[in-house]
Chain A
Amino acid sequence: EAQVTQNPRYLITVTGKKLTVTCSQNMNHEYMSWYRQDPGLGLRQIYYSMNVEVTDKGDVPEGYKVSRKEKRNFPLILESPSPNQTSLYFCASRPTGTGRNEQYFGPGTRLTVT
């Protein structure tokens, strides 16, 4: 089954404790991205990657890091999480070169930072 997977699905952590949220897709998509979704603010892009070793900032990159060492994986790293990073996070992927912009989203990771 073609899908985007994320782990963990739920995470409660404390301020300053480094964490990584993994994302993997099995559709051989070049483009991957991370979003956060907050009430009243909608979906906002954190980082995106056009291909392996190519990443760029989205609208709200502060406090986050990403890496793209393999085509299928795109982990999101919070080096020192803070309470304002409590949110619902989605990973997404899509093919490039098709002229289309639709993305396939993962199931989400609900992060709480206390």
Chain B
Amino acid sequence: QKEVEQDPGPLSVPEGAIVSLNCTYSNSAFQYFMWYRQYSRKGPELLMYTYSSGNKEDGRFTAQVDKSSKYISLFIRDSQPSDSATYLCAMSAGGGSYIPTFGRGTSLIVHP
């Protein structure tokens, strides 16, 4: 079992839909949880950052962390064609661990 599992998709939705992207993990030491967005032919860019459990909202994006279930989610409301990209979850332990573990990424396609 990989340390971080993420369905590669592709996930295809109509414009305006609510999108749910998810990752599961096995390492209970993970405390920092991130979502990166990667457009084709570009480097990943940080989208959301969460420490420990709970929710975080930023505009149309909401990140959720459920450490008891070892499950994180990214919700995109009112999805737009410009949201079409690959979304990577990433997580790392605290205490000076600088090696984040990435999911494989989920390809999202939002069609007009």
Residues on A close to B: CB < 8 A?
4, 31, 33, 40-45, 48, 50, 58-59, 90, 92, 96, 99-108
Residues on B close to A: CB < 8 A?
6, 8, 32, 34, 36, 41-46, 49, 51, 88, 90, 92, 98-100, 102-105
CB-based contact B103/A58 at 8 Å: no
Extra pairs beyond A58-B99, A101-B34, A101-B98 (12, CB < 8 Å)? A42-B104, A43-B44, A43-B90, A43-B102, A45-B100, A48-B98, A59-B99, A90-B44, A101-B92, A103-B46, A105-B44, A107-B42
Q: List 8 tightest A-B contacts by C-beta distance, closest first.
A: A105-B43, A42-B104, A43-B102, A101-B32, A102-B46, A105-B44, A42-B102, A107-B43
Contacts of A101 on B, CB cut-off 8 Å?
Answer: 32, 34, 49, 92, 98, 100
Q: How far is the CA of A96 from the CA of B92 in the complex (A)?
A: 14
Contacts of A105 on B, CB cut-off 8 Å?
Answer: 36, 43-45
Q: How far is the CA of A102 from the CA of B8 in the complex (A)?
A: 22
Closest Cβ of chain A to B93, distance in Å, is 10
Partner of A90, one of B34, B43, B92: B43
